[in-house]
Copies of this chain bind each other. A is one copy, B any other.
Amino acid sequence: MSSSDEAIRSHVESHWEGIRERSPIYRFLFSDIVIFAATKGSVVARLKLADQHINSKGGLHGSVSAAIFDWIGGMAISSWDLRSSTGVSTDLHVTFVSSAKAGDEIEIEAKAEKVGGTLAFTRATIFKLVDGQRGPVVATGSHTKYVRI
């Protein structure tokens, strides 16, 4: 990671800190999330799955996957140009590909396809980590936000 990438990662982290305080659901779910890397328009995060992420069958809760895509879409937009306001959502789509369980660690990668004057478009993937490497795709998401200030 270049020093410039480190500045981006640091900005995304600050942005997240600012939101965390005022977002109970994110605090409930993502207190232990780690922003692993960030470059312009792209963010990678890791999360160890614990009880609060699990559904009644013992797998990653679909609502949690949706929240992850909501969260990381905003982070990817904030990484675009170090902005602190990332707009409001218009559409969020989640496809559930496979499962993961408590104790598993997941890695999420998001990419802003475009951050325009009015709309921003992000996509992301949740991977299950296997021996520290990306294994099966758990879920994919796309997230459109209205970003005109």
Query: Interface on A for B, CB 8 Å cutoff?
Result: 18-19, 21-26, 28-29, 51-57, 59, 61-64, 66-67, 70-71, 88-99, 113-114, 118-119, 121, 123, 136-137, 140, 142, 144, 146, 148
- The CA-CA distance from A79 to B93 in the complex, in Å, is 25
Known contacts: A24-B54, A56-B22, A113-B137. The answer to whether A90 contacts B63 by CB under 8 A is no
| Option from B70, B99, B142 in Cβ contact (under 8 Å) with A140 | B142
List chain B residues, Cβ under 8 A from A57.
88
Known contacts: A121-B140, A123-B140. The answer to whether A55 contacts B23 by CB under 8 A is yes
Closest-CB distance, A47 to chain B (whole angstroms):
14
Q: 5 A-B contacts, Cβ less than 8 Å apart?
A: A25-B64, A95-B142, A114-B137, A118-B118, A142-B142
